């Protein structure tokens, strides 16, 4: 269904600032961004803030921050003015009023003075009669003069579009193909509210047209708005863009995606140790695929492969485990230096400790944990023991079924042997490994029990990065001192 693209591609992400940006919104942004990049077009950010009641302070900043963090930079938008600004709808009022006046003058729209309470009552009555509730065309055939009088009296006046009472409206969705909507099912919807601000429908059409948007890629939840928009384009004598509606995103229980499915706002993801490239990779696969077997995708892979054919028509399912797996994959493919920098950001600023982590130490530690972590947030807890020693509880200073005195004896011997190793030239992790394995064999202990005891003493925890390497990095002296502490606990 990919049409040959002949015009300059100009696409937009048009969020309403009604909360923190969520997965679905960022997926829309990503697909628009990738489509623009692939076609050497422009990606525009437009803030749709005409519903002032639903606006939440700080959301515009968070949307911009989310886009920046994910690397989805826009070419035009707030702060990056282009030729078609301003890019915030509340700053574009005159354009909407001009459009409303044209529609009124041409007889394609009309004013209505029904109060919200009267409208509610109308709907209640319709429901009682078993009819679908909706606006019944109350002012459709009243004179403009009559309604102007109501306006002068101070009654709340809205403007509604005069939707044809019969016929169809058709368009070809770039993924789904031909779509047909019955106009008799569409109410005379409001285009200008009583507060003088346009509704989403009007502002969206006026702006997509005046910003020369070539393609509208938006969530499927907007598909029922498309016939309304097409009517507006027609009445305003404007050329509509092409449309592609992106599949819905559900939780595993097939319900609308929400927090309880493990989906967080982008801002929360940013703070939770997720890599932006992993999140972008994951959301790219929500309802789209490069149509090869690849699941691990870079930004460039997404750009190169993005097309409408790859969009699925059925809903996609959000799977937090897969996101976490992909994050691990991206962490592993990162070069150590970048990972060390990221790790540093997660460490407490000034660890008040003699074993303070320096870069040299970190560059030895990071490769040890790189294979195991699934989130940047896991770095600090898994390496904390290198510089802050928390003595283990007595209950984990144990070795199989041996009693405390026997454990003490084993640890004393280990202290002696490690001290002896200190005197030698060779004290790499391989030497440490040999020493521990030999000791274990000579003592006739199970390797798991013995190494578990040593690990618990030295790291203070039951899980740690590979033990022999950890001892080498920590240093034999520090390890001996920790074992000594444990002997004293017994
Ligand atoms: N303001 C709408 C939203 O919040 C935009 C929908 C569209 O892209 O047309 O998603």
Give the residue-averaged pLDDT of 403-430: 92
Tokens describing residue 172: 């070809």
Q: According to CATH, what is the number of the domain 259-332?
A: 1.10.1160.10
Predicted local confidence at residue 342, as pLDDT: 87
Give the residue-averaged pLDDT of 426-433: 90
Task: Tell me the backbone φ, ψ of residue 487, rounded to 5 degrees.
Answer: -60, -40
Whether 398 shows a pLDDT value over 90: the answer reads yes
- Atom of ligand 1 lying closest to residue 208 CA: 9
Give, using CA atoms, the residue closest to atom 10 of ligand 1: 15
Predicted local confidence at residue 354, as pLDDT: 46
Sign of CA dihedral 209, 213, 214, 218: negative
Fold of 389-490: Arc Repressor Mutant, subunit A (1.10.10)
Predicted local confidence at residue 426, as pLDDT: 74
The pLDDT-based confidence of 1 (bands split at 50, 70, 90) is very low
pLDDT of 131-140, one tens digit each?
989 999 999 9
pTM of the model: 0.89
Q: Is the CB of 14 inside a 6 Å radius of any atom of ligand 1?
A: yes
Positions marked active-site: 259
Cβ atoms of 438 and 421 within 8 Å: the answer is no
User: Among residues of the chain, what percentage have pLDDT more than 90?
Assistant: 80
Give the residue-averaged pLDDT of 225-244: 98
Give the residue-averaged pLDDT of 364-369: 92
- Atom of ligand 1 lying closest to residue 218 CA: 8
Cβ atoms of 69 and 27 within 8 Å: the answer is no
pLDDT of 310-353, one tens digit each?
999 999 999 999 999 999 999 999 999 999 888 888 877 655 55
- Average pLDDT over the chain reads 93
Cβ atoms of 60 and 90 within 8 Å: the answer is no
Q: Give the CA count within 13 Å in the CB-facing half-sphere of 197.
A: 14
Give the residue-averaged pLDDT of 15-29: 94
Give the residue-averaged pLDDT of 76-86: 95
Predicted local confidence at residue 449, as pLDDT: 96
CA 59 to chain CA mean position, Å: 14
Predicted local confidence at residue 2, as pLDDT: 45
Q: Using CA atoms, how far apart are residues 173 and 456, in angstroms rounded to an integer?
A: 61
Predicted local confidence at residue 357, as pLDDT: 62
Q: How far is the CA of 46 from the centre of ligand 1 (A)?
A: 9
Q: Domain boundaries in the chain? A: 259-332, 336-383, 389-490
Distances (CA, A) of 362 to 233, 345, 359, 460: 60, 12, 5, 19
pLDDT of 251-268, one tens digit each?
988 888 887 887 778 988
Task: Tell me the backbone φ, ψ of residue 421, rounded to 5 degrees.
Answer: -65, -35
Least confident of 92-101, 256-265, 412-421, 431-440: 256-265
Q: Which of 12, 13, 15 to mutate to test the pocket of ligand 1 (most atoms within 8 A of CB)?
A: 15
The pLDDT-based confidence of 5 (bands split at 50, 70, 90) is low
Q: How far is the CA of 81 from the centre of ligand 1 (A)?
A: 20
Q: Is the CB of 222 inside a 6 Å radius of any atom of ligand 1?
A: yes
């Amino acid at each position: 269904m990919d049409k040959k693209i002949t015009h300059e591609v100009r696409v937009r992400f048009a969020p309403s600032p009604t909360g923190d940006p969520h997965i679905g919104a960022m997926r829309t942004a990503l697909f628009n961004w990738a489509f623009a990049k692939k076609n050497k077009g422009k990606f525009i950010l437009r803030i749709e803030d005409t519903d002032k009641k639903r606006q939440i302070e700080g959301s515009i900043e968070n949307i911009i921050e989310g886009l920046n963090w994910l690397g989805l930079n826009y070419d035009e938008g707030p702060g990056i003015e282009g030729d078609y600004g301003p890019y915030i709808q509340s700053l574009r009022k005159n354009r909407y009023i001009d459009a409303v006046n044209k529609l009124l003058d041409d007889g394609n729209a009309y004013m209505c003075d029904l109060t919200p309470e009267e409208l509610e009552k109308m709907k209640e009555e319709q429901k009682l009669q078993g009819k679908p509730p909706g606006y019944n065309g109350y002012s459709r055939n009243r004179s403009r003069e009559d309604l102007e009088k109501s306006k002068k009296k101070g009654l709340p006046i809205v403007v509604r579009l005069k939707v044809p009472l019969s016929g169809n409206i058709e368009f070809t969705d770039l993924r789904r193909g031909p779509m047909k909507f019955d106009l008799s099912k569409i109410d005379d919807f409001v285009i200008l509210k009583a507060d003088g601000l346009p509704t989403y429908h009007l502002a969206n059409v006026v702006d997509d047209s005046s910003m020369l948007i070539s393609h509208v890629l938006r969530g499927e939840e907007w598909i029922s708005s498309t016939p309304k928009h097409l009517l507006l384009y027609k009445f305003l004598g404007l050329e509509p863009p092409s449309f592609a509606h992106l599949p819905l995103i559900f939780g595993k229980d097939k319900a609308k995606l929400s927090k309880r499915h493990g989906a967080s706002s982008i801002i929360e993801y940013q703070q939770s140790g997720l890599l932006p490239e992993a999140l972008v990779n994951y959301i790219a696969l929500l309802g789209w695929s490069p149509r090869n077997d690849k699941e691990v995708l870079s930004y460039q892979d997404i750009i190169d492969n993005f097309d409408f054919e790859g969009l699925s028509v059925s809903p996609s399912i959000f799977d937090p485990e897969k996101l976490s797996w992909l994050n691990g994959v991206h962490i592993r493919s990162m070069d150590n230096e970048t990972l060390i920098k990221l790790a540093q950001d997660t460490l407490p600023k000034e660890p008040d400790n003699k074993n303070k982590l320096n870069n040299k130490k970190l560059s030895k530690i990071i490769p040890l944990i790189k294979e195991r972590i699934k989130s940047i947030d896991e770095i600090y807890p898994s390496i904390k023991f290198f510089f802050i020693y928390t003595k283990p509880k007595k209950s984990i200073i144990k070795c199989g079924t041996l009693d405390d005195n026997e454990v003490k004896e084993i640890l004393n011997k280990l202290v002696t042997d490690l001290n002896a190793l200190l005197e030698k030239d060779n004290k790499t992790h391989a030497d440490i490994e040999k020493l521990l394995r030999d000791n274990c064999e000579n003592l006739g202990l199970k390797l798991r029990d013995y190494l578990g005891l040593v690990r618990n003493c030295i790291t203070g925890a039951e899980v740690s990065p590979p033990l022999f390497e950890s001892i080498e990095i920590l240093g034999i002296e520090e390890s001996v001192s920790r074992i000594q502490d444990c002997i004293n606990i017994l």
